[in-house]
Amino acid sequence: MTEDSSQASANLPAGVKRRRWWQQWTVAALLAVLFGGGNLVALNAYYDEDFRANHLAQQQAVLQQLSIVRAQLESYLNGDLYQVKGLIGLPMANQEIDEQLFSRIASELAGDDLRIKSLQLAPDGIVTHVWPYEQNKGAIGHDLLADPQRRLAASRAIETRQLWVAGPVNLIQGGTAIIGRYPIFVDDPLRGGERFWGFATVLIDWNSVVLRAQQAAGDASAIEIAIRGKDGLGAQGEQLYGKSEVFADSPITMDVVLPGGVWQLAGVPARGWITAAGYKAGPRMFAFALAILLAGGLYALLRLPVRLRRMVEEATDSLRQSENRLVDAIEAIPDAFAIFDASDRLVLCNANFRRVYQRTEPAIQPGTTARRLIEYGIEHGQYGDGDGDQALSELLKTKLELHGKAESHYEEHLSDGRVLRVIQRRMRDGGLAGIRVDISDLKNKERELTDAKRQADASNEAKNTFLATVSHELRTPLNVVIGVLTALQSSDTLEALERERVTVANRSGKHLLALVNEILDLSRVESGKLELQRCAFDFAELIKPVLDFARTGCEQKGLTFVYDEGVGVPVHCRGDSVRVRQVLFNLLSNAIKFTPSGTVQLAVEARTQADGRLALWFCVDDTGPGVAENMKPLLYKAFAQGDASLVRQHGGAGLGLALSKRLALMMGGDIEAADSPLGGARFTLSLVLESGASERDLPASGSQRIATLSPRRVLTVDDSPTNQLVIDCLLDGTGYELHYVDGGEQAIERVQEQDFDLILMDISMPGMDGVEATRRIRQLLGEACPVVVAVTAHSMAGDRERYLATGMDGFITKPIDKQELIRTIEAAGR
């Protein structure tokens, strides 16, 4: 067989050799396909890996830039936004804020920081104090809760009771700013808790924020950044900065944590992300063609691992550079900063973190757990000396709980007296990033403001005590003077000249009483203790005594009085008619006082509002000299007068307009001064009252007099014979059976001997006061106890309620009004 084969080969034509097995066309084709296919697969894998490596490099570059921008923005904004807490002590110290004190504190808080555009206070949400004034006075009067663009952020601040970030917003006074709004709550003695006072606000120039973001981003041509999260709403908020396409182009995102809110920061390469579809299309086609034509896939397969390793090394170097830049950025943060991993071990921190925790510094090493750092700090007195093992254990437990809360802000007190604001958030990998801001200076200022508030409260209490004493001492002799003069004035035994003199003296006494009442009312308004009544009243009953007063005053000076009642003035209203009448008396009294000749005019206009309430305007005009321009700023200041010389042409203590202005504001209105068309001054009182009161809601008319007096047995308990004389004079001729005793002990003995319909009980008496005497009488007589009415010169806010709560059935202040006294006695037997 072998021989035959050899022979056959030898017999083949010359030049023709036997083809080897791989030279068969089918096998060669198969090898070529396999080789070419292998090359194509290898090339495709190479370009895919190359695309991923370059895409990863893009992401790392964007991540590096965004990390720096976020760190800079958080440090930049947190430091400025917390300046607003320096203002919250002002309304706590005194709700009537002194403008100069506000400006001084605001300027000290802002210092030379040009980024702070303004510091403001807004009682009840209405901006009243701004700094600096000239650049921001356009914001005064702005109602934050009524403004749809401000209401959401303002409401969130009230709900969370924390500093809340709003904006950026276009300011009324011009410009654009980020707003940090801190809600202020003050003690409310009437409610027994706290009430919302208003806002302390800081405005940070938005252009400076944008500039800082651009500076932190570095080369503007490398990446495009954008920010969204208006009013601190994070990803749900409107876009604040950058192109809208950034958020639509699969950006790298991270959150910028602000007090009371979050911004979402996004970034993409400035030239856009590379895409797999069009990645190196030309070179790829050329390589494929070359592999197929030259069958050089082996070389490509051998070179592929080398190139891949080089790309991985380059990507690793780029990542290492990014980490170095991130570390440098963290070191540049002016506050203490630290990052813990998902297992709560320290990853890295800056030098400021080590300086803040000096006693814990030996334990601050990468890999140390947060628990160990806290334990080491407690052992070495970082947080103060604990009192016993149990106290140390509780301290450790508390600090671990605070540290474990991801999205939290809390204060940390160190043993050296410093106070840190800790702001931390959970990262996407489960780690925890936190910043510590030293707020020791702010806490010291807060304590100073609290001490100032306590001193102011003590001063107010001393003032109230003094006013109560002065009021009592003045009302006691005034009771005698006005009471006796009132009795003499109604006597039929006096001649006309004597009655006129008594009337003048009585009017002077009542003027002195009115002055005392104005002082007390002003004190009540300033302390927030004056309460308005909301009762139905007849408008005609309101205006009649006002018109009588004006006509009488004008007749005495030879003036003409004109009353003009416009269309739509209601028959019935609901409000505090006594205070409305008091303000009208004051405005007309001033007009008559300062008008030497001519006319005084009162005009009334009314209009029903959309909410059903009634808007009233009372306009008082005169032909006097008017109000000088330099006097207008002093019109509504207490004790301020147009002529303060020793000898003045016109009398007065300068309280009327100050009190009237405050009363008008309390009733939802205002008083404005202007030039009158008559040539003098015009004062306009605007009010908003409820309308539509029914007849049965109205009190009995003041013109209804008691036709017949019923027989009553009245016991007067008063240690002062002159006060007894006053009651005797006022009730002379009424038919009442009057009895008198000099103190509480005698009253107790008398009520056991004789029955009475009414007891007029003085409060301040030696030995046993009126409150104790009333308690013992009620204990002795039980259901048979007569009506007991307190008759006292104590008339400060709360006196009526206090004495009624002790068992009194009624309350009459001195000086005693005759008609009020008779009505009280008549009501005793009903």
Nearest-angstrom CA–CA distance, 561 and 568: 22
Name which of 128, 195, 142 is nearest 173 in CA terms: 142
Band the pLDDT of 23: cuts 50, 70, 90. Answer: very low
3-state secondary structure of 422: strand
User: Which residue segments constitute the domains of the chain, with CATH numbers given?
Assistant: 25-76+274-331 (no CATH), 88-209 (3.30.450.350), 335-438 (3.30.450), 452-502+705-830 (3.40.50.2300), 535-697 (3.30.565.10)
Structure tokens at 217: 């981003």
Mean pLDDT of 293-317: 58
Please say if the pLDDT value at position 17 is more than 50.
Answer: no
| pLDDT for position 519 | 60
Mean pLDDT of 794-808: 74
Mean pLDDT of 466-483: 60
| pLDDT for position 621 | 92
Mean pLDDT of 741-768: 88
3-state secondary structure of 199: strand
Please say if the pLDDT value at position 62 is more than 70.
Answer: yes
Mean pLDDT of 690-698: 57
Burial 70-109 (b: 16+ CB within 10 A, else e): bbbbbbbbbbbbbbbbbbbbbbbbbbebeeeebbebbeeb
**Which range among 36-45, 227-236, 297-306, 526-535 has the greatest average pLDDT?**
227-236
Distances in Å between the Cα of 42 and the Cα atoms of 29, 284, 287 are 19, 12, 11
Structure tokens at 327: 């570390």
Lowest-confidence pick of 524-538, 677-691, 807-821 = 524-538
Nearest-angstrom CA–CA distance, 677 and 564: 15
Which has more confidence, 100 or 600? Answer: 600
With a pLDDT cut of 70, the percent of the chain lying above it is 74
Band the pLDDT of 620: cuts 50, 70, 90. Answer: very high
Please say if the pLDDT value at position 490 is more than 50.
Answer: yes
Mean pLDDT of 487-495: 64
| pLDDT for position 5 | 43
Band the pLDDT of 526: cuts 50, 70, 90. Answer: low
Mean pLDDT of 267-296: 71
Please say if the pLDDT value at position 693 is more than 70.
Answer: no
| pLDDT for position 119 | 85
**Which range among 212-216, 623-627, 662-666 has the greatest average pLDDT?**
623-627
| pLDDT for position 528 | 56
pTM for the full predicted model: 0.38
Q: Residues near 429 by Cβ (< 8 Å), separated by ≥ 6?
A: 341, 342
| pLDDT for position 134 | 83
Please say if the pLDDT value at position 796 is more than 70.
Answer: no
Distances in Å between the Cα of 43 and the Cα atoms of 50, 213, 312 are 10, 42, 17
Please say if the pLDDT value at position 707 is more than 60.
Answer: no
Bridge partners of residue 369, in order along the sequence: 345
Q: What string of DSSP letters covers 319-370?
A: HHHHHHHHHHHHHH-SSEEEEE-TTSBEEEE-HHHHHHTTTTGGG--TT-BH
For residue range 119-138, list pLDDT tens digits in order.
888 888 888 888 888 888 88
Mean pLDDT of 457-461: 67
Cα 400 off chain centre by? 33
Q: Are 716 and 724 in contact (CB under 8 A)?
A: yes
DSSP assignment letter at 687: E
Nearest-angstrom CA–CA distance, 741 and 586: 41
Please say if the pLDDT value at position 13 is more than 70.
Answer: no
| Residues making up the chain, counted from first to last | 830
Mean pLDDT of 91-116: 78
With a pLDDT cut of 90, the percent of the chain lying above it is 3
Please say if the pLDDT value at position 802 is more than 60.
Answer: yes
Nearest-angstrom CA–CA distance, 475 and 812: 12
Name which of 668, 687, 671 is nearest 570 in CA terms: 687
Band the pLDDT of 599: cuts 50, 70, 90. Answer: very high
Please say if the pLDDT value at position 639 is more than 60.
Answer: no
Band the pLDDT of 249: cuts 50, 70, 90. Answer: confident
Band the pLDDT of 654: cuts 50, 70, 90. Answer: very low
Q: Are 74 and 335 in contact (CB under 8 A)?
A: no
Q: Are 758 and 825 in contact (CB under 8 A)?
A: yes
Band the pLDDT of 469: cuts 50, 70, 90. Answer: low
Mean pLDDT of 682-691: 84
Between helix 25-81 and helix 281-294 the angle, nearest 10°, is 160
| pLDDT for position 552 | 82
Please say if the pLDDT value at position 598 is more than 70.
Answer: yes
Mean pLDDT of 414-439: 86
Q: What are phi and psi of 278, to 5 degrees?
A: -105, 15
| pLDDT for position 704 | 43
Q: What string of DSSP letters covers 133-161?
A: HHHHGGGTT-BTTT-HHHHHHHHHHHHHT
| pLDDT for position 537 | 78
Band the pLDDT of 645: cuts 50, 70, 90. Answer: very low
Nearest-angstrom CA–CA distance, 761 and 118: 59
Mean pLDDT of 449-471: 69
Please say if the pLDDT value at position 640 is more than 80.
Answer: no
Name which of 398, 443, 404 is nearest 424 in CA terms: 404
Q: What string of DSSP letters covers 631-699?
A: GGGGTTSTT--S--SSS-SS---S-HHHHHHHHHHHTT-EEEEEE-TTSSEEEEEEEEEEE---GGGSP
Structure tokens at 650: 């016109």
Average pLDDT of every residue of the chain: 76
Q: Dihedral (C-alpha) 255, 257, 258, 260: value to the nearest 10 degrees? A: 100
Lowest-confidence pick of 26-35, 583-592, 601-610, 700-709 = 700-709
Q: What string of DSSP letters covers 569-584?
A: --SEEEE-HHHHHHHH
Nearest-angstrom CA–CA distance, 639 and 656: 9
Please say if the pLDDT value at position 48 is more than 60.
Answer: yes
Lowest-confidence pick of 449-458, 461-470, 601-610, 788-797 = 461-470
| pLDDT for position 7 | 45
DSSP assignment letter at 116: E
| Residue 620 amino acid letter | V
Please say if the pLDDT value at position 655 is more than 80.
Answer: no
| pLDDT for position 8 | 42
Which has more confidence, 673 or 578? Answer: 673
Please say if the pLDDT value at position 760 is more than 80.
Answer: yes
Nearest-angstrom CA–CA distance, 85 and 442: 7
| pLDDT for position 705 | 44
Name which of 527, 525, 520 is nearest 796 in CA terms: 520
Mean pLDDT of 456-464: 66
For residue range 174-224, list pLDDT tens digits in order.
778 888 888 888 887 777 778 888 888 888 887 877 777 777 666 545 788
| pLDDT for position 22 | 45
Lowest-confidence pick of 31-45, 195-209, 338-352, 396-410 = 31-45
Name which of 782, 800, 786, 805 is nearest 717 in CA terms: 786
Cα 100 off chain centre by? 20
Band the pLDDT of 345: cuts 50, 70, 90. Answer: very high
Which has more confidence, 276 or 426? Answer: 426
Lowest-confidence pick of 499-513, 542-556, 593-607 = 499-513
Alpha helix locations (H) across 563-683?
A: 577-593, 656-666
For residue range 497-522, list pLDDT tens digits in order.
666 666 656 555 555 555 566 565 55
Mean pLDDT of 85-109: 78
| Number of CB atoms found within 10 A of residue 506's CB | 19
| pLDDT for position 652 | 44
Q: Is the dihedral of CA 130, 132, 133, 136 positive or negative?
A: negative
Between helix 744-753 and helix 770-781 the angle, nearest 10°, is 20
